[in-house]
Amino acid sequence: MTNRNENSNLSGLFIYKNKFNQNVHYDFFTKKAYIISKADEKKYGLFTSRLPLSIIISAMLILVLNVNTYIGIAAGIACYVFMTILFHKSFLENLVVDNKFVKYKRENIFVAVAKDMAIGRIIILIAVSIMIIALAIVNIKTNEMTSQQLLGQYLLMLFAAVFGAFYVIAAYIKVTRKY
């Protein structure tokens, strides 16, 4: 069973359908289900992009502005934490709670992502990962760096590679199983 609503742009790991076929965000922290109306879909999409946005901010600070690697990573983490707090405190708390929602069991994470995310979104995440790795390589080749800066660049590339590999697997599953 897919969670993707044909009339909706919402997809993701935390999007489910309730018995009334409404989009529901299930919050694993609070164990509550929040009904997402059509009017709230764009705002929800912005908040669910907080991890890629944080990674991009981190990468741009480090690779483009040559900010210290640790400061760039800390800024990305701070951005993610700030957006997560905003998501939970200012967005979710204003939504209607579905008290009768029953969360159904999901498949493994790769299948869930393959079913729930649009292929375009998966491809964008793969492309962002490749761009971060490419920018880190260019940065290493063009700038003299201390061992700490090199370590930070390698860690950034490793994280981007793992992130990208995850979505490559999800894209492969989506294409081969026709989700």
Domain with 170 in it: 15-176
In a domain, 47, yes or no: yes
In a domain, 126, yes or no: yes
In a domain, 4, yes or no: no
In a domain, 170, yes or no: yes
Query: According to the model, what pLDDT value does residue 136 have?
Result: 94
Q: What distance lies between CA 81 and its chain's CA centroid? A: 13
In a domain, 106, yes or no: yes
Q: Residue 59: what residue type?
A: A
- Count structural domains, the chain: 1
Sequential pLDDT tens for the chain (179 residues): 444 444 566 767 788 888 888 889 998 888 899 999 989 998 998 888 899 899 999 989 988 888 888 899 999 999 999 999 999 999 999 999 999 888 877 568 888 888 888 999 999 999 999 999 999 999 999 999 888 889 889 999 999 999 999 999 999 999 998 87
How do strand 96-97 and strand 32-35 relate by DSSP bridges?
Answer: antiparallel
In a domain, 92, yes or no: yes
CA distances from 56 to 4, 16, 69, 154, 179 (A): 26, 28, 13, 16, 28
Q: Would you put residue 21 in left (φ > 0), alpha (ψ -120 to 50) or beta?
A: left
E-state strands within the chain: 15-17, 23-27, 32-35, 96-97
In a domain, 7, yes or no: no
